[in-house]
């Protein structure tokens, strides 16, 4: 259950997609003065070394954020915002530190906003707590060593009635696909106006291909708008590495679709590993 470590995958193409969407979403939500609650159900360690043993073993950042950083063409605004965010955590031109979702969210939060981080992995939870402690954020950030699937919905709705919930489990267990769908169904019953973002891998597994269809059905039953963005960088028939991933949002910002319409074609061009690279961008509701 605890074999997955995101440090091996930090800065890969899936992180580029996920964090580009996260930043664009938070930029919109924080434009309104009312306090925002941000939930991260699987927060990981928070910060990662791109020059450390884990990341260099996999080398996945080389085909993700590092390709973007080496681009010689002007980037779409959402991609430039993402790259600027990553660079803000690095003192020099070389990218050695990669911020996970908790630290990206913290950078975009205002004084009135709060962040709830769930992490069950014992090592990552300890590392996350130590990394967050360096921020001296006080009660603005809470690190909860518990199952995010089980723990997050009890906090809905938040006092401010405004929230973004990011659900990005490892899907190490195939049950995670059903649990992600169940989390969204319960969350929409408890707090129908929240913004919900679910990341998922696109791999040769029935549950992976069924998940976006299940999430669309849930959004439709709740009468809520949705957005689905996916990025494929190579054929799924290759033996090694993740070929594609997706982000599914319920109650997405209206600004997100045009931002991704400019960003996704460029991600295909810059991050393609073979001729099967492609993207999906669809909305409904």
Report pLDDT digits (tens) over 30-40: 999 999 999 99
Place of tokens 């054929």: 235
Q: Which long-range contacts (CB under 8 A, 24 or more apart) does 134-138 make?
A: 135/106, 137/106
The domains located in the chain, with CATH, are 13-44+99-284 (3.40.50.150)
d(CA 20, CA 15): 8
pLDDT value, residue 96: 95
pLDDT: which is higher, 92 or 108 = 108
This prediction has a pTM of: 0.96
- Residue that wins the pLDDT comparison between 8 and 134: 134
Residues labelled catalytic = 168
Cis peptide before 208 (omega within 30 of 0): no
What does the block give as tokens for 184? 């969204």
Q: pLDDT-derived band of residue 6, with 50, 70 and 90 as boundaries?
A: confident
pLDDT tens track for 10-31? 999 999 999 999 999 999 999 9
Task: Give the pLDDT score at 55.
Answer: 54
Instruction: Quote the CA–CA distance of 115 and 26 in Å, as a whole number.
Output: 12
Q: Is the pLDDT of residue 63 over 70?
A: yes
Token pair of 273 as six digits: 């590993």
Classify residue 24 as exposed, middle or buried by CB count within 10 Å of its CB (0-12, 13-18, 19+): buried
CA atoms within 13 A on the CB side of 52: 14
Q: How confident is the model at residue 180 (pLDDT cuts 50, 70, 90)?
A: very high
Instruction: Return the DSSP state at 147.
Output: -
Q: How do strand 97-99 and strand 114-118 relate by DSSP bridges?
A: unpaired
């Amino acid at each position: 259950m605890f074999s997955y470590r995101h440090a091996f995958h930090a800065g890969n193409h899936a992180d580029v997609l996920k964090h580009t969407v996260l930043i664009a979403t938070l930029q919109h939500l924080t434009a309104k003065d009312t306090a925002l609650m941000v939930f991260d159900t699987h927060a990981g360690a928070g910060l990662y070394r791109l020059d450390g043993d884990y990341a260099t073993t996999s080398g996945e950042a080389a085909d993700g954020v590092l390709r973007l950083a080496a681009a010689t063409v002007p980037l779409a605004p959402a991609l430039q915002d993402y790259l600027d965010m990553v660079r803000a955590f690095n003192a020099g031109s070389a990218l050695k530190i990669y911020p996970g979702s908790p630290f990206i969210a913290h950078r975009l939060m205002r004084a009135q906003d709060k962040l709830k981080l769930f992490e069950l992995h014992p090592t990552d939870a300890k590392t996350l707590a130590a990394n967050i402690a360096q921020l001296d954020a006080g009660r603005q950030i809470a690190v909860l060593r518990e199952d995010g699937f089980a723990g997050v919905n009890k906090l809905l709705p938040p006092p401010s009635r405004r929230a973004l919930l990011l659900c990005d489990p490892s899907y190490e267990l195939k049950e995670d696909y059903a649990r992600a769908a169940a989390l969204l169904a319960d969350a929409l019953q408890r707090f129908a106006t929240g913004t919900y973002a679910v990341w998922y891998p696109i791999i040769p597994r029935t549950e992976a291909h069924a998940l976006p269809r299940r999430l669309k059905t849930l959004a439709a039953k709740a009468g809520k708008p949705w957005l689905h963005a996916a990025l494929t960088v190579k054929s799924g028939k290759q033996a090694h590495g993740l070929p594609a991933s997706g982000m599914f949002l319920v109650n997405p910002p209206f600004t997100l679709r045009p931002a991704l319409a400019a960003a996704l074609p460029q991600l295909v061009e810059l991050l393609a590993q073979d001729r099967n690279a492609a993207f999906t961008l669809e909305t409904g509701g």
